[in-house]
């Protein structure tokens, strides 16, 4: 077992004893078998850069406060995850080998659901599944904007700038008001929560003075233990929609049309525009289509497009609201997209109560009903050990940019012998995140290494064109952060100035998104 | 002239010499006549708690960087304003007497207007008037969400969490991407702007790592020199609307109905619900109605309500979009509110091009056409020296809360012999800011003192009921911040930990929203 850097065996052993005194031995995991579940699930199995030394499973805020105090005394680096399911970016594993993981999976209480003001308050271990079930069990006519996979954490997703798809997914705007354990073990509440007994903690997004919520996202300044999340009252009608086009180069026209429809509010949610192989990987396996070497040729992709009836690009999206408004908007959307030759738009109106019985997983996801169906895509290369790396730059929601990014990514990924698997997610009317699913067989070391290498190269290639990652894989966090170098790295220096001030012992998730404590900056 | 605290005459004089060397003497103001314009415009004239010692008028980012370096060398506190028009909260004046004001009024360039992605980039001195004119001059079919008074700064308003009224006013969501001068004179760009040449700086609201934009709002961690602001493409139709009710106690039903219509997206902008005296003060003068002692009696308010045809509560709001959608929404809104006995809803559909010719200033403001018409209200008590203090707590958008807050505020303000003048601004579907206009005659010292005293008392009274200020007047900043005391003042301690780290000399706007540098914490 790897020890954390610069921690002696004696210190580490004392820390483990004190963690055990606080939590009981059953909630301090340290055997190889216990730790296996907390590795990067897609890393080749003999690689061990990101292996933890132990995992702590606190169940209360007080236990987290005690963990932080113990870690500070012994200089032991912690790495926090909520449920640790951001698998395309490293899953539950720590940036620094030997870190002690603080897993919040057992802090999984839904603390409050308020139907009048349409919000919930949850702990970090609450998954999309859990909150969905709690809303249903309470008989609330409220919908939750969810991510693609139901096992993810509501808080964890928000803290990593994760995307969800309903109207509150636009600009990731569902989170409101946090409670945070700081590095000295004290407890802070953000926004209006900083006032004792305040009635608007989870209703108003700011407080008096600077708003700290986004400072605790994609950072290592504290451990979030509670968060408010806004819910949407049942609309009269839910209408999942599809757009399909048949030529790869229709991409630019789709994006430009979509921008206009999002800017004027006709579409107000987060669509997902998928290339043939992305949706194809959910619906089928690669060996049904091709057994040659290298990436799928265009002719095979065209065959998939036709036979699966998913086109070269297909967009899932949806409308929510009153039926007359939806009817008007659907016609407007149809007319706008059908100016593209061969484009088709279709959809179905359903009552919110009937969403769980929809057949297509995408239609359930956009309707807030969680599942694991979308996970099928990682099995693309066969076997049970499919994995992927997410490479995810942000670009203007402009056809020229979408084409330029596609050209770069397709060329590079296919150059590495892999398939170009693309999901474009317009998170607002002006920009989209290009999720590149670099899928590989984790049992195939050569393929895994190739996937890591091309993903790593893409960081700099995309930055050279003006596109930066919205979230980075453990393996390229420093490289991704290094691209944000304007003003002699002013942003990173400012973040690390804060880091040193609020976590002087440098124990909270060192290296997260490239932010290091003073004591470890040499490791970058 | 007051010197800043703990600055010797020699140091101060050296600093002024160096400021003069950097800017030229014409842009370093220090005579009593020059400084008069930079006082709190509503403070009684012989009070001098917040008088500046000098005013600097930089015109470039480099000049601001030099100012900061000089100030740090000599320990001279600076106080920045953009245009300094937040008059209800202290205007251009500094929190600490003797501070040197950095006035950004002359940094007033509109740097970019992008019609394709519907945004602008502005400097801090750009007023609503300026950006509106620049959009018009460029022939862009874009609308700007503005505040009530056109002389305000686009950036200054955003930095103080100021309210605007169009759809991007919801959750104050128009700002995207900043450039900031830090206390050491270095320059930082937030979000995607931290990457050189990034194409999504003003399009995507975050970056890689924690998002800093809201950390630079209502704080004193840097001087914002550029900001992106999102604009709205012309809708097919703009429809300003009015709701009028006749009984003071209709307030709760109006608020509860409004919440439902905002939660479901039928109304998506920031309404303004005004009591009789608020709109009455825009449309008339107090002496037309009453010359007795103390606050207006209910009988007089009822008379105003009838004769001005503005009811006991009147709400200005609006729809923007396609005509069939507006027609559906208008009918839905009308039916919902007209369940309240005597309530009336009306409105007019206009083309965006025709907004400037609308007669009612409210209908122009909600349509993005700036003016100073709304300023008439400060003349309520007659004379040319009308002033007001804004006391502005946040509450859930729930009828019970609205009634409780009105009861508290009306009782206290009238108890101080003043009129209760209320504007309720639902800044999202779940909460509203209760702007209490404590209006007084600034030439009447007894009345001015009474206004300050009652405003100050209200800070604690409102907090005791669970309502916190969204923004505080210079005179009560510390008191307002002290209410945010949860966890032994964890929020303020965290902010001041950051303050000491990023501004060790403590020169940037000390005391802003209650945040003090280490050297001045004794002054709190």
Q: What is the pLDDT of residues A386-416, one digit of tens each?
A: 888 999 999 999 999 999 999 999 999 999 9
Residues 83-102 of chain A whose Cβ lies under 8 A from any Cβ of chain B: none
Of A428, A465, A481, the CB nearest to B209: A481
Of B205, B233, B484, the CB nearest to A171: B205
Chain A contact for B492 (CB, 8 A cutoff): yes
* Chain A nearest-CA residue for B188: A490
Of A208, A232, A472, the CB nearest to B468: A208
Q: What is the pLDDT confidence band of residue A501, given thresholds at 50, 70 and 90?
A: very high
Joined tokens for residue A56: 């702590």
Contact B210 A217 (CB under 8 A): yes
- pLDDT, residue A251, reads 98
CB neighbour list of residue A492: distance below 8 Å, 6 or more residues apart: A481, A484, A485, A514, A515, B194, B209
Mutation site, A494, A497, A513, A524, interface B, largest B CB count within 10 A:
A494
CA-nearest of A390, A262, A237, A195 to A325 is A237
Contact A200 B268 (CB under 8 A): no
- pLDDT, residue A383, reads 65
Segment A255-284, tens digit of pLDDT? 999 999 999 999 999 999 999 999 999 899
Joined tokens for residue B181: 């001068």
| Arithmetic mean of pLDDT, A93-118 | 97
Segment A325-368, tens digit of pLDDT? 999 999 999 999 999 999 999 999 999 999 999 999 999 999 99
A206 is catalytic: no
Low-confidence ranges of chain B (pLDDT < 70): 1, 383-384
Of A215, A467, A484, the CB nearest to B194: A484
- DSSP class per residue in A122-168: E-TT-BHHHHHHHHHHTT--EE----SSTTSBHHHHHHTT----SGG
The CA distances from residue A521 to A218, A514, A515, A518, in Å, are 18, 10, 9, 5
Contact B118 A188 (CB under 8 A): no
Contact A204 B431 (CB under 8 A): yes
Instruction: Give the residue with greater pLDDT, B448 vs A187.
Output: A187
Contact B484 A208 (CB under 8 A): yes
Q: Give contacts of A328 with chain B, Cβ < 8 Å.
A: 322, 324-325
Shortest alpha-carbon distance between residue B285 and chain A (Å): 33
- pLDDT, residue B383, reads 65
Ranking A108-117, A436-445, B200-209, B420-429 by mean pLDDT, the lowest is A436-445
Q: Give contacts of B332 with chain A, Cβ < 8 Å.
A: 322
CB neighbour list of residue A78: distance below 8 Å, 6 or more residues apart: A67, A68, A71, A99, A100, A101, A102, A507, A508, A509
Joined tokens for residue B161: 């969490």
Q: Give contacts of B494 with chain A, Cβ < 8 Å.
A: 182, 188, 212, 502
Chain B contact for A518 (CB, 8 A cutoff): no
Residues 402-431 of chain A whose Cβ lies under 8 A from any Cβ of chain B: 427-431
A238 is catalytic: no
Residues 32-91 of chain A whose Cβ lies under 8 A from any Cβ of chain B: none
Q: Give contacts of A321 with chain B, Cβ < 8 Å.
A: 264-265
Residues 264-283 of chain B whose Cβ lies under 8 A from any Cβ of chain A: 264-266, 268
**What is the distance between the alpha carbons of residues A421 and A414, in angstroms, rounded to a whole number?**
10
Is residue A235's pLDDT more than 80? yes
| Arithmetic mean of pLDDT, A156-177 | 98
Of B218, B233, B259, the CB nearest to A208: B218
B110-142 burial string, b = 16+ CB within 10 Å, else e?
beebbeebbbbbbbbbbbbbbbbebbeeeebeb
Question: With 0-12 CB in 10 A as exposed, 13-18 as middle and 19+ as buried, what is B184?
Answer: middle
Name the percent of chain A lying above pLDDT 90. Answer: 90
CB neighbour list of residue B508: distance below 8 Å, 6 or more residues apart: B68, B78, B80, B183, B220, B221, B222, B223
The CA distances from residue A202 to A174, A353, B206, B238, B352, in Å, are 10, 26, 21, 32, 36
- pLDDT, residue B148, reads 96
User: What values do phi and psi take at A140, rounded to 5?
Assistant: -80, 135
**What is the distance between the alpha carbons of residues B487 and A189, in angstroms, rounded to a whole number?**
8
Q: What is the pLDDT confidence band of residue A442, given thresholds at 50, 70 and 90?
A: confident
Chain A contact for B458 (CB, 8 A cutoff): no
CA-nearest of A406, A404, A399, A397 to A436 is A406
């Amino acid at each position: 077992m790897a020890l954390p850097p610069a921690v002696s065996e004696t210190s580490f052993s004392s820390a483990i004893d004190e963690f055990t005194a606080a939590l009981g031995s059953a909630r301090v995991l340290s055997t190889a078998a216990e730790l296996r579940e907390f590795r990067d699930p897609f890393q080749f199995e003999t690689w061990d850069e990101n292996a933890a030394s132990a995992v702590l499973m606190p169940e209360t805020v007080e236990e987290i406060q005690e963990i932080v105090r113990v870690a500070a005394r012994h200089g032991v680096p912690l790495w926090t995850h909520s449920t640790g399911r951001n698998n395309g970016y490293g899953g539950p594993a720590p940036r620094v080998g030997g870190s002690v993981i603080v897993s919040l999976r057992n802090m999984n209480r839904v603390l409050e659901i308020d139907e009048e003001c349409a919000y919930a308050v949850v702990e970090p271990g609450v998954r999309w599944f859990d909150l969905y079930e709690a809303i249903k069990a309470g008989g609330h006519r409220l919908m939750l904007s969810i991510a693609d996979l139901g096992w993810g954490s509501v808080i964890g997703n928000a803290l990593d700038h994760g995307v969800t798809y309903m109207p509150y997914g636009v600009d990731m705007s569902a989170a409101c008001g946090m409670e945070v354990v700081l590095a000295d073990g004290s407890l802070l509440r953000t926004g209006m929560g900083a006032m004792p007994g305040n009635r608007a903690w989870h209703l108003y997004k700011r407080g008096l003075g600077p708003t700290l919520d986004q400072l605790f996202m994609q950072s290592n300044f504290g451990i979030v233990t509670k968060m408010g999340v806004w819910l949407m009252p049942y609309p009269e009608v839910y209408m999942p929609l599809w757009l399909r086009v048949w030529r790869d180069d229709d991409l630019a026209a789709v994006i430009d049309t979509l921008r206009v429809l999002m800017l004027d509010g006709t579409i107000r949610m987060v669509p997902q525009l998928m290339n043939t192989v992305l949706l194809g990987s959910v619906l089928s396996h690669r060996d049904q289509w091709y057994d040659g070497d290298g990436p799928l040729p265009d002719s095979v992709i065209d065959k998939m497009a036709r036979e699966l009836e998913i086109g070269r690009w297909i967009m899932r999206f949806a409308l929510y609201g009153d039926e007359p408004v939806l009817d008007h908007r659907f016609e407007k959307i149809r007319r706008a997209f059908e100016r593209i030759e061969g484009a088709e738009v279709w959809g179905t109106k359903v009552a919110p109560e009937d969403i769980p019985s929809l057949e297509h997983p995408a239609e359930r996801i956009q309707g807030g009903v969680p599942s694991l169906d979308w996970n099928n895509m990682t099995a693309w290369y066969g076997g049970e050990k499919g994995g992927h790396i997410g490479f995810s730059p942000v670009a203007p929601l402009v056809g020229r940019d979408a084409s330029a990014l596609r050209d770069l990514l397709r060329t590079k990924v296919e150059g590495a012998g892999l398939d170009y698997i693309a999901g474009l997610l317009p998170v607002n009317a002006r920009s989209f995140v290009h999720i590149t699913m670099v899928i590989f067989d984790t049992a195939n070391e050569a393929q895994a290494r190739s996937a890591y290498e091309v993903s790593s190269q893409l960081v700099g290639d995309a930055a050279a064109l003006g596109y930066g990652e919205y979230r980075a894989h453990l393996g390229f966090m420093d490289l991704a952060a290094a691209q944000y170098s304007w003003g002699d790295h002013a942003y990173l220096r400012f973040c690390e100035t804060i880091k040193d001030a609020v976590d002087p012992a440098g124990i909270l998730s060192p290296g997260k998104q490239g932010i290091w404590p003073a004591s470890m900056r040499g490791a970058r």
